[in-house]
Amino acid sequence: MKLPAQQLFYPSILNYVCFTPSIFPKMPSSPTRRKPRNCLWIPILLCLFNELSFAEAESSTILLPSQQHNADSVSTTFSAHCPAPDPSLNYRPVIGILSHPGDGASGRLSNATNASYIAASYVKFVESGGARVIPLIFNEPEEILFEKLELVNGILYPGGWAKNGLYYDIVEKIFKKILEKNDAGDHFPVYAICLGFELLSMIVSEDRNILETFDGANQASTLQFVKNINIEGTLFQRFPPELLKKLSTDCLVMQNHHYGISPERMQANQELAKFFKILTTSMDEYNKVQK
């Protein structure tokens, strides 16, 4: 399809004309100043018509990318087609998010003892990466819960407060199933946030008292990368270099928890030291270092 060059230039001309007067100061309203003000349009219009005439002389038509690609007389450096998807990648994975006890509103929505919720922010976070979500209700029958586990490609453990009882038991059972999947060659990622990572630390260490107290509630902080750490294959591998640098110099990270684990305690626990590799550390309000 060929379009006259003038049709594509008109919108930009109108915008240019509409906004140009704003760059000139307002003139006094006296009769002696009116003529120079009106005359300002003359060089502007002349300039615009010269630009239009030059465009018409240069080319009377504008080609679409596909036409440029096929035209012998026009050279192009871009392709008209998008690259083919990588067949080895799943562009629409399904992620299971485990629900947390309560109604998420301090009982204002429901006081039922069997109530549970998933914060919308976790769902939106997963969906923003192109994935879909299946809710895993922590207190539903286990046969249903583990049937759902076979339908997802990964798990997100959310933040919260529940560190014992049925919730702890279900987190542990799901985690053991995930380890079995990965040991069998099924790549099955886990993303644990706040409470989720605290529970995994307790499960892996086989010590329910492994956590330490920190003052990191509602605090912005930096991330300090471990010296000579290799981030290939980690969460940070796709971060641009300038963002990686800013993470260690600017307070870009949100901390909102009271428990964590220090690098010393993690390294002292044989199970944790074997299972996890420390990537970054951060300090709480009183400069106490936590991983």
Catalytic positions, written as ranges? 194
Exposure pattern of 39-65 as b/e (b: 16+ CB <10 Å)? eeeeeeeeebeeeeeeeeeeeeebbee
Residue 184 DSSP SS3: coil
The residue written with tokens 């060659």 in the block is 185
Cα–Cα distance between 203 and 198 in angstroms, integer?
Answer: 9
10: number of Cβ within 10 Å: 10
CB 165 within 8 A of CB 100: no
Q: How far is CA 189 from the centre of its chain?
A: 17
β-bridge pairing 94-98 and 132-136: parallel
Q: Quick one: the chain helix, strand, coil %, rounded to 5? A: 40, 20, 40
DSSP state of 116: E
* Alpha helix (H) residue ranges in the chain: 5-19, 31-39, 41-58, 65-70, 120-128, 142-149, 165-183, 195-205, 241-249, 263-268, 270-275
**Spatial CA neighbour of 259 closest among 218, 205, 210:** 210
